[in-house]
Structure 1
Amino acid sequence: MESDYLSPGSLPPGTRLGPWLLLGQRGRGSYGVVYRAVLEAQQESAHIVALKLALHPGDGRFAREAELLSRVHHPAVPRLLDSGHWQPCEGVSYAWLVMEWVEGTPLYAWAQSQRPSSRQVLQLLARLARALDATHSAAGLHRDVKGDNVLVRRADAQPFLMDFGSGHHLGAATLTSHLFPPGTPSYRSPEAWRFVFGPRKPPPVPYAPGPADDLFALGVTAYRLVTGKYPPSAHPWEKAEAWLWRSEELAHWTARVCNPRCIPELSALVSRMLSPRPEARGSAREVAEALEQAVRNAGREADVPLFTGEEPRPAGLLPVPQRVTVRRPPPMRRWPRLAAAGLAGALALSAGGLLSVSRSEEPATSRLAQQEETKDAGTVAVGDSVLTAPVAPERVPSMWSSIAVDLPPKPFPGQRRPDGYGRCPSKVQVAINGGCWTKVPVDVKYCDDWDGVAYRGTCYQPAMTRPRPATSGPATRDDNP
C-alpha cells in the first residue's frame, strides 16, 4: 500500500511497516500511537503484537526505549521483538518498535473488579519488584512506575510492568532539560521534591533519580492499590501535608490504618517502600525477597479481600482518588496538660482510621498532582495500558487547563489576592490581573507540562488560599511545624 501521504497517527489497516502489517489503532498519546499488528508473511498464524510508532520524526525516546527493553529480560516485562523506521517520504523518518502483546487490565481497574486479598497483592508486588530489579541490574530506570503502567493479564492475573518510554539507562543521552525527569508528580519521592523545591535557590542541574525513586513509586502504587487513596504529598511547600512525613507521624497513616483489612506484614512493606529515607527502602531485590517471604508466612487473614465492594470509593474508581490527610493536632504551647490531652485524642482518632479525605480540604496543588497522574508524563504513547483500550483515553478535565494559553482576566475561586497596595502575602508570589501567582522554576517551553502559563517569559501557577479548618473537628494551623 502506498503511504507517502499518510500521517503516522492515522495509518489505515493493511499498512506495512517493515515486515509488520497493521490491523488497527489501539491508543494514541502526545508522542506516539499504538497499533495492533502481525507479521505480514504469517498473517494467518502470526501472533498479534503491539507496534508503537512515533508521531514526530527523529524522536530519540524510541531509540532509548528500544535499547532499555533489549537489556531487560524478565517475564513481567514485555519482550522487545523488533524496531525500525518508517519513511513515508524522502528525508522523513518515524521510529517504531514492536513489543509482546499483553491482553490485560490496568492495575487499579483490576483491583476494583477483582477485590484482591493481601496475599494476592503481596504476590503481585513481588513480581513487579523483580521486574524493577531486572531493570536496575541492566543499569536502567523505569522512572514512571504507577498503576496505569501495570497491566494484569486476564488469563492468569500475572502483572506486567509496561511503558518504558520514560525510562533511562546508563550511557543514554539526556533528551529534556526539565528539573524533574519524566514521571508523574503524585509518585515522586520526597528526596526529588526536596532537591527541586528545598530551602535554597533553584538547583543548577536537573534531579538525577536512582533505583530508590522507582521503589518509592512502587510504594505509592501499592498504597493506592491497598487503600484506594494516595499517601500525603511530600512536596515541601505543602505545609498541610508535608509534616506527616516526619518519622514520628508515619505510623498514623499506614496502609493498615487506612484499611484495617490489610495485614500487618503487607502494610509494613508498603511503609518500607514509602520511607522518607531512600536507604531505608533497600534494593528492589531485597524488597522482592521480603514480599515473597511475607507470602510464605502469611496466615488466613491474608486471604480476606481488601475491599468488600461496598466502599464509597473503591480502588481505581474515577474521579482520581484523593490523598490521605490527617487533621493536625493543636501545638503544645499554653495549658500543656490540656494540649497533651488534645494531642492524645487526635492520635487516637487517627489510629482509629478517622482520616480526613474531604475534597474541599485538600490543597489545590495536591489536586493538580493527582490530576497529572493520568498525564502522558513524557512517555512514547499514553502508557502501554492503551494496548487494551478500545479508544484513546482522555485526560481528566482540570480547571488548570484553562490557563495553559493565557492568564485569565480575573482570579480563580479560592486564588489568593493582593492587598490594597498590590502586594501578595508571599515574597515568591506576584500580583497579575487581580490574583497572586507563583513562579515555577522551569523553562517556559515546558510550562504546559506543569499546567501553568507562560507570561512575559516566565512560567506561573495560581497561588491558592489554604482551606479553612472544618468546624466539626480539631482546629488546624497553617504555620510551620
Structure 2
Amino acid sequence: MESNSLNPASLPSGTLIGRWRLLEQCGRGTFGVVYRAESVDGTQGVVALKLALHPGDARFVREAELLSRIHHPAVPRLLDHGQWQPREGASYAWLVMEWIEGAALYDWASAQRPSSRQVLHLLARVARALEATHAAGGIHRDVKGENIRVRSADGQPFLMDFGSGHFLGASTLTWDSWPPGTSAYRAPEAWGFVLGPGKPPPVPYAPGPADDVFALGITAYRLVTGKYPPSPHPRGEDAWLWHPEKLALWSASTHNARCVPELSALVSRMLSLQPEARGRAEEVAEALERAARKAGPEAEVPLFTGEEARPAGLFPPLQRVTVRPPPRAARWPGLVATSLGASLALGAGVLWSTRSFELPEQPHLAEGEEAKDGGTIAVGDTALTAPVAPERVPSMWPAIRAEVPPKPFPKQRRPNGEGRCSGKELVAINGGCWAKLLVELKDCDNMGGFVHKGVCYFPVWELQRPSTSGPANRDDAP
C-alpha cells in the first residue's frame, strides 16, 4: 500500500511506525486510535501504540511529556513517542506504552466480586499513582472506572489514559470554561466556578489535585454500590442531598450493607464538598492502607453476591442512587439556593449559586461513544476496551451530536404568548425555552447540551413551587 494512502484510523497489520510494527487495532476514541504493536527487533514484546487521528494534535505531545515525568508501578511506562509522516505535510503524533492485559475497573468488580479489604488496597494503589502524578506537577483530570485497568495476572490496578492530563508549565490547548474530563466525575467547585453568578468566567476552570481526589471518590462510590452518587450539579433535583445533614442518606454503606464502615467513611471523605477536607492523594492513600490493615474479618466478605441488579454491559448507562425526597417542595432546585445558602457559606455556598438562566438537573449524555462511563472526551486508552467502530475518515469534531428536538421536553419552560422566553439570555426554539452555552460544538454533548444552527443550548426547566397550604415542617427541611 502506498504510504500516502494510509489513514491513521485504519492502518493494516504490518505497518511500521518508528521502530514499531502494528499487529491489530484494538479500539478508537474521538482523538486517537490504539493498536497492539511489537518492536521490529522483537525485544520488547506486545505494546500499546496510541496514534493521533488528526495531524498536529498537541494533546499527544503533552501526554508523552507528562508520562515521562511519572514513575510509578501503577502507571503504564512510556516506552517511546514520535511523529509519523505518511505523506508530506501531514504529521501524526504517537506514543507507545507498556501493554496492560486486563479489564476495566467496574467490569473487573462485577466479575471478581471483591471484598472491602481488596477494594481498600486497590484504591490505595490508585491514590499512590495520583500522588506520583501530583508530585510531578501533573493533574490527571479524568479519573474514572474506565480509566483504571486491573491486570489479569495479579489483580493490580493501573491508572490509564493521561490524554486529558495537564502539568505545570504546559500550554493551554483549549479555552472553554470546562477543561477536558467527564461530567459525572466533576467536583462541586468546578460546577460552582463555571455555573456561578454573572457572566461566563473569562478563563477556563483550572482543576487541581483535589479534583482528582473527588473523581477517585466518585469511582470508589460506583465501585462499591454499582451506581453514581447524587450529582453535585447545582440545579440538580438531588442537590439537597449534599447538605451536610443529608449525607448519611446515601453513604456507600447505606446502599451496600456489605461495605465496611472504614471504607464507606473514606469514600465519603473523598466526596467532601470542601476540597481541603478530602486530603491530598498521599493522605488518602495512607488512610486507605491503614484501613485495609486494621479492618476486621467482616472486610473479607465479598461486596456483591452476584444477584444484585448491577448495570449490565461494558459501558452501562448513567444510573444514580435514589433517595426518597422530603415531603416539602423545598427540595426543588430554585429553593435549594435560598434554604442552603447560609448553612453552606463556609466554602460550599458557591455550589448552589447559578447564573440568570436555569440548567438541567443532570448533564445529558448522548448514546454511543460519548456516553461511556458517564461521558468522556479523553484521548483514549479507554479505546483499549472499546469495540472498533466502523471505518470512517476522522473529522475535527465528534460525529455524535444531539440536535434540539422538534418539540419541548416535559416540564420544559415554554415561551409566552408573544413567542418570547422570560429571563435574560433565554431564546425560544421549537416551542421551548433554551439557554445558550458558550462552548465549542465538540464539547456540547459532554456538557449536556443540544445543537441548533451551529450553537450549543441547554433546555430550561419550569421551577415547581411549594404548596402554601399547611404549616411548614422544619424537621423535613433539607
What is the TM-score when the length of structure 1 is the normalising length? 0.83
Partner of residue 134, structure 1: 132
Q: How far is 1:187 from its partner? A: 0.1
Q: How far is 1:155 from its partner? A: 0.8
**Cα distance per residue 1:128-159 (max 9 Å; x no partner):** 00000000000000000000001011111110
Q: How far is 1:46 from its partner? A: 3.9
Which of 84, 91, 105 matches 1:93?
A: 91
Q: Is the 8 A contact 1:228 1:315 kept in 2?
A: no
**Cα distance per residue 1:427-461 (max 9 Å; x no partner):** 55322221121222324564354353444664212
What is the distance in 1 between the residues matched to 2:366 and 2:218?
A: 12
Q: How far is 1:418 from its partner? A: 2.7
Partner of residue 113, structure 1: 111
Matches within 5 A, 1:80-479: 80-238=78-236, 240-313=237-310, 319-331=316-328, 365-366=361-362, 368=364, 374=372, 377-381=376-380, 384-389=381-386, 391-392=388-389, 404=401, 406-413=403-410, 415-424=412-421, 427=424, 429-443=426-440, 446-455=443-452, 458-464=455-461
Read off the aligned partner of 1:379 and give its amino acid letter.
A
Partner of residue 13, structure 1: 13
3-state SS, counterpart of residue 223 of structure 1: helix
Which runs of 5 or more residues in structure 1 are unaligned? 334-362, 395-400, 470-474
Read off the aligned partner of 1:211 and give its amino acid letter.
P
What is the distance in 2 between the residues matched to 1:112 and 1:159?
A: 15
Q: Is the 8 A contact 1:77 1:131 kept in 2?
A: yes
Q: Report the number of matched residues.
A: 433
Partner of residue 343, structure 1: none
1:79–1:106: structure 2 CA closer, same or farther, 3 Å change rule? same
3-state SS, counterpart of residue 160 of structure 1: strand
Which of 54, 57, 62 matches 1:56?
A: 54
1:86–1:443: structure 2 CA closer, same or farther, 3 Å change rule? closer
What is the distance in 2 between the residues matched to 1:118 and 1:314?
A: 20
Partner of residue 353, structure 1: none
What is the distance in 2 between the residues matched to 1:393 and 1:164?
A: 25
Q: Is the 8 A contact 1:403 1:453 kept in 2?
A: no
Tell me, yes or no, if structure 1 residue 23 matches structure 2 residue 20: no
Read off the aligned partner of 2:384 and give its amino acid letter.
L
Partner of residue 76, structure 1: 74
Q: Is the 8 A contact 1:165 1:378 kept in 2?
A: no
Read off the aligned partner of 1:112 and give its amino acid letter.
S
Q: Is the 8 A contact 1:386 1:393 kept in 2?
A: no
**Cα distance per residue 1:216-245 (max 9 Å; x no partner):** 00000000000011111111121x211211
**Cα distance per residue 1:11-46 (max 9 Å; x no partner):** 10010011110101111111111011111122xx54
3-state SS, counterpart of residue 8 of structure 1: coil
1:244–1:413: structure 2 CA closer, same or farther, 3 Å change rule? closer
What is the aligned-residue identity percentage? Answer: 66
1:152–1:445: structure 2 CA closer, same or farther, 3 Å change rule? closer
1:332–1:368: structure 2 CA closer, same or farther, 3 Å change rule? closer
Question: Which stretches of structure 1, 4 residues or more, deviate above 6 A after TM superposition?
Answer: 466-469
3-state SS, counterpart of residue 71 of structure 2: coil
Q: Is the 8 A contact 2:23 2:35 kept in 1?
A: yes
What is the distance in 2 between the residues matched to 1:79 and 1:63?
A: 15
3-state SS, counterpart of residue 362 of structure 2: helix
For structure 1, which segment, 177-186 or 249-258, has the greater mean C-alpha deviation from structure 2 after superposition?
249-258
**Cα distance per residue 1:388-441 (max 9 Å; x no partner):** 4553599xxxxxx99937544332455433343434465553222211212223
3-state SS, counterpart of residue 22 of structure 2: strand
1:332–1:432: structure 2 CA closer, same or farther, 3 Å change rule? closer
Q: Is the 8 A contact 1:31 1:54 kept in 2?
A: yes
What is the TM-score when the length of structure 2 is the normalising length? 0.83
Q: How far is 1:325 from its partner? A: 3.3
What is the distance in 2 between the residues matched to 1:418 and 1:266?
A: 49
Q: How far is 1:277 from its partner? A: 0.4
